[in-house]
Copies of this chain bind each other. A is one copy, B any other.
Amino acid sequence: MISQSVNDKRTDLLAAALKLFVQYGFHGTPTSQIAKQAGVANGTLFHYYKTKEDLIVSLYIDIKLRMGQYIEAKAEPHKNPKKNFRNQFIEIVLWSLENKDDFYFIQQFHNSPFAALVPPEEIQMQLNKFCGQIEDAIKLKAIKNRDTDFILSLITSHTYGLTQYLTKAKFDDDKQKKIIKDSFDMLWKMIE
């Protein structure tokens, strides 16, 4: 099964890159190390990814894709916008906690010059889902009437801050869930 093995190598490379990037940073990780960690030859890496940059951007897009799929799979669409936001908020935080490396990589990537290299259509795709929801909620007067991007910024950074906090402090699952719910209530108080 050739296409299977191709996918394996591709994902092996991405997984290896993720692990090493998170630990040593982009520049601290030579492509030779990534290849070694993935169990393939140096040249193979460049067979699948034209440049190191290409690998980095591909990894970002892959992570975003996986996160999107995860959230979508867990989504239970409600008429009630609050419940919708609540569900998604909780799922995103849980995903981030279960995939700390991915989460950390995204932050690292966002605050790097590589961020400018993501194709615009990728960015737009990711935003559209959320922006639509926010606009709907505003129309229904479920949340404050502010610029959509503004609301999105506040929600995103709130999610980020909470995840950062939960990552540093180690709580058991129950306590963690309580904090997440509490945190959403606070967020909602802010934007409702």
**Residues of chain A at the chain B interface (Cβ within 8 Å):** 23-28, 104, 107-108, 110-114, 144, 146-147, 149-150, 153-154, 156-158, 160-162, 164-165, 168-169, 179, 182-183, 186-187, 189-191
Contacts and interface: CB of A to CB of B under 8 A. Distances in A.
26 contacts: A23-B113, A25-B112, A25-B113, A27-B27, A104-B111, A107-B111, A108-B111, A110-B111, A146-B182, A147-B169, A149-B165, A149-B168, A150-B179, A153-B162, A153-B164, A154-B165, A154-B186, A157-B158, A158-B158, A160-B161, A186-B190, A186-B191, A187-B190, A189-B189, A189-B190, A190-B190
A73 to B, nearest CB: 27
Nearest to A190: B190
A76 to B, nearest CB: 26
A159 B11 CA distance: 37
Secondary structure at the A interface, as helix, strand, loop or mixed, is helix
Contacts of A154: 158, 161-162, 165, 183, 186
A133 B35 CA distance: 49
A169 B157 contact: no
A153 B157 CA distance: 10
Interface centre among A24, A113, A147, A179, by most chain B C-beta atoms within 10 angstroms, is: A113
Contacts of A165: 149-150, 153-154
